[in-house]
Amino acid sequence: MLKQVAEGVLVHESEFIQSNSVVVQGRAGVLLIDPGITSGEMDCLANDLRGLGQPVVAGFSTHFHWDHVLWHPNFGDAPRYGTARTAASIQDLLSHADWQALVAEGLPPEYADEIPMDLLGLITGLPAGAAQIPWDGPTLRIIEHQAHAPGHGALLIEERGVLVAGDMLSDILMPFLDLEAANPIGDYLSALRLFEGVADGVDAVIPGHGSVGGAGQLRARIRQDRAYVEALRDGGDPDDPRVGLAAPLEWLPDVHRWQVQRLTQKEQN
């Protein structure tokens, strides 16, 4: 079910780690951001859009990870955009003859048979450094950074006061660093500074996974994520409930320990 979070901005939440599909209404139709996750959920989303009486006229993937580059035939064949680096990353993956097997390794087993793969990753890269998405609707300012994934693109809908954060600024997930990057901690802290720079105009932040944050919560999430990343940098133990004994997902403490191990290995090499 679609829930309105601001004028012309609606969210559909998946059962899989509270994944958020975002709908932005334009003049001739809607822009669909990171739709997912299962075929049934995307059917439901398509039905909701039919109820709005607006077709999908464009799509956007915030980054190239499998759960952000999905699509469904009921959304039509509208152009699907991503940053140049996002498009290059997913095209590199799809160039492998065994790409479906590579993606399947990361799928949650309880949902794997329900995730449609046929239209995965058919992304058109915007010109390098593009500042906006080309479509007939509210201005969508691209905030590109290198945290979490190469060319990750958050979207700021300034006239609606909404930040679509992609896999950042979650209330249930701690920061997941791009551990293949040369400077994963520096990249993450730089991205948080970008978000801080637009925080004054944001009334709602939509993470890729988790709850939509209302007015004032953006800065609190930035502070929490910065504290976590700085603790990783300084070799401390993060005082973060998302990775503690009461973690919202039981596997998050294991991922936290894995991140610490990988960062230690990078420093030693």
* pLDDT value of position 1: 84
Q: Residue 106 and residue 99: Cα distance in Å, rounded?
A: 12
Which residues does the chain have with pLDDT short of 70? Answer: none
Question: Is the backbone of residue 95 left (phi > 0), alpha (psi -120 to 50) or beta?
Answer: alpha
| pLDDT for residue 192 | 98
Strands (E), the chain: 2-6, 9-13, 20-25, 30-33, 56-60, 80-82, 124-125, 141-145, 152-157, 162-166, 204-207
What is the per-residue pLDDT for 267? Answer: 81
Q: Kindly tell me the burial class for residue 258, based on how many C-beta atoms sit within 10 Å of its own C-beta (0-12, 13-18, 19 or more).
A: exposed
Strands 2-6 and 9-13: antiparallel
Please, what CATH class does the domain formed by 2-268 belong to? alpha beta
In angstroms, rounded to a whole number, what is the distance separating the alpha carbons of residues 211 and 230? 24
Query: What's the one-letter identity of residue 186?
Result: G
Show me where the domains of the chain are located: 2-268
Distance CA 257, CA 62 (A): 26
Q: Which two tokens stand for residue 51?
A: 């109820």
What's the CA gap between 237 and 230, in Å, rounded?
A: 10
Other CB atoms within 10 A of residue 229 CB: 23
| Residue range 106-152, pLDDT digits in tens | 999 999 999 999 999 999 999 999 999 999 999 999 999 999 999 99
- Which pLDDT score is estimated for 247? 93
Note the pLDDT of residue 268: 79
Q: Which residue, chain included where needed, has tokens 């190239």?
A: 64
The kind and range of the H/E element at 221 are helix 217-234
Q: Look at residue 166 in the predicted model and tell me its pLDDT.
A: 97
Check residue 269 and give its pLDDT: 72
